[in-house]
A = this chain, B = another copy of it.
Amino acid sequence: MDERALIRSLVPVLGAAATADDCATIQHGGEWLVLSTDMLHETTDFPAGMTDREIGWMAAAVTISDIAAMGARPVALLLATGLDRPERLAGITAGALECCRFYGCDLAGGDTDAHTELTIVSTGLGTAVRPVRRSGARPGDLICVTGYLGGAQAALSGYDRFWERLIAPRPRVAAGLALNEAGATAMMDISDGLALTLHDMLAVNGCGFAVETARLPLPEGVPEGEGREFALYGGGDFELLFTVPPEHFPVTGVDATAIGLVVDEQDVTADGAPLPARGYMHLWKE
């Protein structure tokens, strides 16, 4: 069973709302609070060779990216750390703090525990007047992505100059806020590759997504075919995927590319052919 199937199995218990967005949303004091939690552990989430400080940055960044994907402002982060060796805590905390400060977010607390394998759960709180959800895309909207795709996968595939891209993800907080302001209709981050992300969007929208691969912003210096494969199916980029009415694009100050169109037909296609829901996923042996 993959992670998405497992989470879908909770819909009858929790309701669809609890599993439909990058963050849970709660109305409070005239605006919305958004909350997200991410569990990472050493063998599957942190590429070998990362320092504790880099691990701390990444743990904070993945959660801040979820907040960014709601068009929300990160406010506070908590870090629960299961430590194989207690001396790692200082480096991990320093890295998380650095990331939090970079995004104007308070590293407000946490918990520690002894663990056989380093395990970090970061939980973030953000605020938005109106969060941008995964649902909300409308036929005729442009499909767009920030930055470029496939860099993290390029690093994993041996293109060493993309190493920083892989280990030090830069959540698109400012872009998320600007896109919210500019009227983005749906948004999420692309942590597991474009194809899976489009299928996640498909699952909660009553329309479809038609992408033109020639428009994909690819990692520079990687052969085009390979770069396209990385962009579609590679994980770890943490760019934003969003839909927006054409008259509101481009958005001042946001580095983004239109890669396709929201269509009536409920399917994900690339160059007219169905795009498989394939990419980076947590898998359990069955």
Contacts and interface: CB of A to CB of B under 8 A. Distances in A.
Contacts of A93: 10, 13-14
A114 B108 CA distance: 27
Contact of A75 (B26, B38, B80, B94): B26
Interface string A30-41: 110101111111
24 contacts: A3-B113, A9-B90, A10-B90, A14-B97, A21-B109, A24-B106, A24-B109, A28-B33, A29-B29, A29-B31, A33-B33, A35-B76, A37-B78, A37-B121, A39-B81, A41-B82, A44-B113, A80-B121, A85-B284, A111-B121, A112-B282, A114-B282, A123-B123, A125-B125
A89 B10 contact: yes
B109 A39 contact: no
Interface of A: 1, 3, 6-7, 9-10, 13-14, 18-19, 21, 23-26, 28-31, 33, 35-41, 44, 75-76, 78-83, 85-86, 89-90, 93-94, 97, 106-117, 119, 121, 123, 125, 127, 282-284
